[in-house]
Chains A and B, each alone.
Chain A
């Protein structure tokens, strides 16, 4: 691998942009994990569903990729809330490992259902934005990635505002801080959990639509993004909203710069290495575990 400053600059820009998307995906996971203490191993598979929905609307329906959000966001909200209601809510009081195993089972089901319906093919949507690029000095910027970065930032900001400034948002935060006290204050905790699960999943709808112009879809695409989301959430500190954003960018940069400097797919080892080190030595995350 020949090292050059141009290559590094390019890798950093790409890493930053994809890191924005990582951050958005992780914010959804952090919301669910932070509020309900449910570690959702099917988070990546929810994203995969969103990406298939967006793909088919674009490839078969001729939709503008960003318009597909009108479908992917409500769809993911309903899927998330529905799955919570049917399978997770009944075992909320069970030991955490049972909940984890349940979501592992769910991810197996979703992955293999996708395999049945869509085969193992890797699908890439051709959109008007897919080939649009800007050249700034030595760096080529893919417009679709820039849009994904900005779109992720806006979505995260809206979500942050929502959690801080609306009654529902406050209820979600209250339920995450102390279930009993929140119940005593007249908050319907079960309904709040349902909403949080739905919103956390809906974030994936946004991410799916933003990614479809430049990222492929396959039944196992969720595996990678699910793991990345865990890495980011742990790195940023569980339930720490801003931490997840910064950590998303860090992991995006690590993946992208690592891929430029290391042979083969060794950059992945670097990402997991960071994850393991953080889990061991700073499980509260680099910015400390802050409640929502």
Chain B
């Protein structure tokens, strides 16, 4: 290995730290709207990163991850409204509940060998069932949903006067999720997940407990997604069954991971960064006459990516970098 490559690598390992420090300064110069955009980018980057652990690394595509988003959002909001429990605590309760549900769902699905489209269908059915279930639960506000009561400037209950507070919270969450993914991907657990994705029979033959790996990935992914759900509720201060459970949030969770690059550390964040600003611009400019502008855009991008670059933005970038001298072969790409 040449020195040039070694120093290039050292620079690459410092870059994320520099990026994080730079992002910390954003609220000092950015206006409220730009901050709002940044919060959305980071929130979707975070959620997609959480989904990516199960969908990208382990290869089990959940089309109903909104189930966990909703559990997180409803748990912290319910605990806050009913028992005045701070969302800082409630979010962990939601995450634990989501992890338990994830373990149960994962166990049931994978115990009976569900995979591919069938697993996707079960997850959709679960989150759709959750919509109708919560619609009929009066203590959760039914179809009207729940409001997070605004009490003013109270950081101890995750309520901030401006966007900056929320920005710091979700920035740290997103950074930690990426760090966690990076850490896992170099550990035994990460290799087990990739082995399951690439060839389950072979992994099993080599002694990987594939059932356990898949359940662990589901639990971790559900746990993280639910934390994001609590933030979602605090930031938007209103939730209802359709906007946290159901199809649209489910698609929005997985979309950026697929567009950015499945099973890559940075893919979900890159996907969110590439797409959220355009989508939000479309929504704010055309929203009045054209309510679904951002969803239309998401659909079109999803189709185009599947047709022309199924490995996502990072997948294409990796292939380009392959041509540079001195780089080792990248890990097998997600499919």
Where the two chains meet, the residues of A that have a C-beta atom closer than 8 Å to any C-beta of B are: 39, 87, 90-91, 94-102, 104-113, 115-116, 120, 219, 223, 227, 230-231, 234, 263-266, 268-269, 272-273, 275-276, 279-281, 283
Task: Give Cα distance in the complex from A104 to B120, angstroms.
Answer: 12
Contact B122 A279, beta carbon cutoff 8 Å:
yes
Task: Give Cα distance in the complex from A90 to B63, angstroms.
Answer: 23
Neighbouring B residues of A280 by C-beta, 8 Å? 108-109, 112, 114, 122
Residue ID in chain B nearest A276 by CB atoms: B125
Task: Give Cα distance in the complex from A264 to B117, angstroms.
Answer: 30
One digit per residue, 1 when the CB lies within 8 angstroms of any chain A CB and 0 when it does not, for chain B 103-137 equals 00000110010101110111011101100110110
8 A Cβ contacts from B262-296 to A: 290-293, 295-296
Offer 9 A-B interface pairs, CB within 8 angstroms, sorted by A.
A39-B121, A97-B117, A101-B302, A104-B299, A105-B300, A115-B292, A231-B125, A266-B132, A269-B136
Instruction: Give chain A's interface secondary structure class.
Output: helix
Contact B296 A265, beta carbon cutoff 8 Å:
no
Q: Is B298 an interface residue (CB 8 A)?
A: yes
Nearest 4 pairs of A and B residues by beta carbon: A108-B299, A105-B302, A112-B292, A109-B299
Interface residues on B, range: 35 or more
| Chain A nearest CB, measured from B144 CB (Å) | 13
8 A Cβ contacts from B192-235 to A: none
| Chain A nearest CB, measured from B41 CB (Å) | 20
Neighbouring A residues of B310 by C-beta, 8 Å? 91, 94-95, 98
Q: Given A107-B299, A120-B291, A223-B247, is A283 in contact with B114 using a C-beta cutoff of 8 Å?
A: yes
Q: Given A87-B303, A95-B335, is A104 in contact with B251 using a C-beta cutoff of 8 Å?
A: yes
| Chain B nearest CB, measured from A178 CB (Å) | 20
Task: Give Cα distance in the complex from A269 to B129, angstroms.
Answer: 5
Neighbouring A residues of B301 by C-beta, 8 Å? 105
Task: Give Cα distance in the complex from A96 to B310, angstroms.
Answer: 12
Contact A105 B299, beta carbon cutoff 8 Å:
yes
Q: Is B307 an interface residue (CB 8 A)?
A: yes
Q: Is B65 an interface residue (CB 8 A)?
A: no
